[in-house]
């Protein structure tokens, strides 16, 4: 006769533990599923397109909770036939603050018509290693992105700098950028005050206007040139998650070398405005070897055929490479840099030897144009500051057609008033 009491007595304790664990996992799984199915806005920034290449581009978004994400794209708004998934070494990427999705297309992407895309995010919750639950996917609007054409006859770039989280300035710049409709937007450093512990770098960088419908880089790519304030604070190391580094060189994330129609554009990272040994850094600064690595890279990329043969060449870097008489070059422990003496020593000779026309910079919160001289044939355009009355846009128009070439660079204020300009023909 079956003795239930004896049978229970012979069951190993491990089996009881497993059974109890399974029951607990089931309860946790149900709780996890309930949480996953809670509806909340998951994507909490406009998409920001970055790092355009002939066969790809990246898109960053801010998130309100743990999620995976992907980009659906195609060449018609009604047929997003391709999908790019954020993943790393076989595991889908997941984050609770920000996500960068890189599109790698199997052939060159068109530049003569839009690429339509939308970002999709799906909530992810863990009740245990084998108790994952997914919420309903949430998608954003479909955007029409135009990538710059390396063979274009005309190209327009706009460079902005030193917004320092000033909401009035950011929103005014957004409106001006939309009207001027550049092919590429350069953010030339100091998007923040500092990235302190209580800050949200992803919101400052990806949603600076604090309005999802105010996006300056969803239909055109953005290139980021790091500023000295962008590397300060406990959360400064999180910035790379939002403004992703260029795909070719993880060690030089903000160095770009692009051919854009008749224009070659180089971006350089001037880093901090004081020597590495300055006591305020408490031994955490290593910008001097980093600038040297960029110097080696600069010599290589300026010899690339598409850069070398460009009719016009410009470089964007946050801290100026040329200073006014008596200004601090940032190489001593006294004060801080008005221009980057370290970068000037390492980079200017290469830029002069390879025929660069102009440097675009910021940092000083006061606009100016430094004219060319015999010993320094490169002009320097310095953008304004964070307050609306000091804010500026640097507009770069380059063209080549019917054997004629031209480059026009001008700095304007938020009212459209011309402050500085130079033309090359």
Check whether residue 89 and residue 128 sit in a common domain. yes
Pairing of strands 263-267, 312-316: parallel
pLDDT at 38: 55
Domain that holds residue 374: 154-424
**DSSP secondary structure letters along 178-234:** HHH--SEEEE-S--SS---TT--HHHHHH-TTS-TT--SSSSS-EEE---SGGG-ST
Asked if pLDDT for residue 363 goes beyond 80, the answer is yes
- Domain match, 127 and 265 both: no
Termini Cα distance of the chain:
105
**Residue 37 within any structural domain of the chain:** no
What are 154's two structure tokens?
Answer: 């005309």
How many domains are contained in the chain? Answer: 2
Are residue 130 and residue 78 in the same domain, yes or no? yes
User: Which of 101-105, 115-119, 312-316, 372-376 bottoms out in mean pLDDT, i.e. has the lowest?
Assistant: 372-376
CB 347 within 8 A of CB 321: yes
Q: Per the domain annotation, does 14 fall within a domain? A: no
Q: Is residue 104 part of a domain?
A: yes
Average of per-residue pLDDT across 394-399: 98
| pLDDT category of residue 269 using cuts at 50, 70 and 90 | very high
Lookup: tokens for 246: 């260029």
Last residue of a domain, one of 102, 125, 145: 145
Does one domain contain both 199 and 330? yes
**Residues whose CB is less than 8 angstroms from the CB of residue 324 and which lie 6 or more positions away in sequence, other chains included:** 338, 370
Average pLDDT over all residues of the chain:
92
Q: Is residue 248 scored above 80 in pLDDT? A: yes
C-alpha span between 412 and 425 (Å, rounded): 21
Confidence of residue 279 (pLDDT cuts 50, 70, 90): very high
Check whether residue 81 and residue 164 sit in a common domain. no
- Residue 32 domain-assigned (yes or no): no
210 and 275 share one domain: yes
Confidence of residue 2 (pLDDT cuts 50, 70, 90): very low
> Residue 404 pLDDT more than 80?
yes
Place of tokens 């002069």: 352
Mean pLDDT of 176-198: 98
> Are residue 225 and residue 320 in the same domain, yes or no?
yes
**Average confidence (pLDDT) over 239-260:** 94
pLDDT of residue 31: 54
Q: Give the residue-averaged pLDDT of 135-155.
A: 96
Does one domain contain both 356 and 272? yes
Using left for φ > 0, alpha for ψ between -120 and 50, and beta otherwise, residue 365 falls in left
Mean pLDDT score, 40-68 = 97
Q: What proportions of the chain, in percent to the nearest 5, are helix, strand and coil?
A: 25, 30, 45
Output the six-digit token pair for 396. 């770069």
Confidence of residue 77 (pLDDT cuts 50, 70, 90): very high
> Are 127 and 100 in contact, with CB atoms under 8 Å apart?
no
My answer on whether 172 and 93 are in the same domain is no
23 inside domain: no
Instruction: Kindly state the average pLDDT of the residues 292-319.
Output: 98
CATH number at residue 309: 3.60.21.10
Whole-angstrom distance, CA of residue 155 vs CA of residue 317? 20
Evaluate if residue 10 carries a pLDDT over 50.
no
Classify residue 321: in a domain, yes or no: yes
pLDDT tens sequence across 321-337? 999 999 999 999 999 99
In whole angstroms, what is the distance from residue 277 CA to residue 285 CA? 7
| Residue the block writes with tokens 């001008």 | 410
Across 412-419, average pLDDT = 98
Residue 43: inside a domain, yes or no? no
132 and 162 together in one domain: no
Rounded to an integer, what distance in angstroms lies between the CA atom of residue 138 and that of residue 121? 5
92 and 222, same domain (yes or no): no
Per-residue pLDDT at 250: 87
The pLDDT of 179-197, averaged and rounded, is 98
Question: Which range is least confidently modeled, 190-204, 238-252, 309-323, 328-342?
Answer: 238-252
The answer to the question of residue 38 being in a domain is: no
Give the pLDDT of residue 343: 98
Q: What percent of the chain is modeled with pLDDT above 70?
A: 91
Residue 270 bridge partners (DSSP): none
Q: What is the pLDDT of residue 36?
A: 45
- Of 125, 145, 165, which one is at a domain's C-terminal end? 145
Same-domain check for residues 114 and 193? no
Q: Name which of 37-41, 226-230, 297-301, 349-353 the model is least confident about.
A: 37-41
- Boundary residue ending a domain (145, 178, 207): 145
CA distance 423 to 425: 7
pLDDT level of residue 30 (50, 70, 90 thresholds): low
């Amino acid at each position: 006769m079956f003795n239930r009491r004896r049978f229970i007595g012979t069951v190993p304790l491990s089996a009881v533990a497993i059974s109890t664990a399974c029951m607990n996992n089931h309860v946790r799984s149900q709780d996890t599923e309930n949480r996953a199915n809670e509806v909340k806005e998951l994507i909490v920034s406009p998409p920001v397109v970055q790092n355009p290449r002939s066969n790809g581009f990246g898109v960053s978004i801010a998130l309100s909770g743990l999620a995976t994400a992907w980009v659906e794209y195609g060449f018609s708004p009604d047929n997003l036939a391709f999908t790019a998934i954020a993943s790393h070494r076989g595991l889908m990427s997941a984050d609770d603050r920000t996500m960068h999705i890189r599109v790698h297309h199997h052939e060159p992407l068109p530049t003569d018509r839009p690429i339509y895309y939308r970002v999709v995010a799906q909530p992810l919750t863990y009740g245990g290693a084998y108790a994952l639950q997914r919420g309903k996917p949430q998608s954003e609007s479909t955007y029409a992105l135009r990538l710059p054409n390396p063979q274009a006859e005309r190209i327009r770039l706009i460079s902005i700098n030193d917004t320092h989280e000033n909401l009035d300035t950011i929103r005014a710049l957004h409106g001006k950028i939309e009207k001027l409709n550049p092919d590429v937007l350069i953010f030339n450093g100091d998007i923040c005050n500092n990235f302190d512990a209580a800050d949200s770098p992803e919101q400052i960088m990806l949603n600076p206007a604090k309005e999802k419908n105010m996006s300056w880089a969803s239909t055109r790519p953005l290139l980021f040139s790091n500023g000295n304030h962008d590397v300060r604070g406990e959360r400064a190391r999180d910035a790379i998650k939002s403004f992703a580094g260029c795909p070719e060189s993880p060690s030089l994330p903000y160095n770009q070398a692009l051919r854009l129609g008749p224009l070659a554009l180089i971006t350089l990272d001037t880093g901090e405005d004081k020597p590495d040994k300055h006591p305020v850094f408490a031994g955490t600064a290593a910008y001097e070897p980093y600038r040297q690595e960029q110097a080696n890279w600069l010599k290589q990329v300026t010899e690339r055929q598409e850069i070398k043969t460009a009719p016009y060449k410009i470089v964007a870097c946050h801290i100026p490479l040329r200073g006014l008489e008596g200004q601090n070059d940032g190489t001593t422990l006294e004060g801080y840099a008005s221009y980057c003496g370290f970068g000037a020593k390492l980079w200017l000779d290469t830029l002069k030897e390879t025929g660069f026309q102009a440097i675009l910079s910021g940092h000083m919160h006061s606009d100016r144009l430094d004219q060319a001289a015999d010993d320094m044939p490169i002009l320097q355009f310095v953008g304004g500051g964070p307050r609306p009355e000091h804010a500026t846009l640097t507009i770069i128009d380059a063209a080549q057609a019917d054997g004629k070439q031209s480059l026009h660079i001008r700095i304007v204020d938020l009212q459209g008033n011309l402050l500085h300009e130079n033309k090359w023909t």
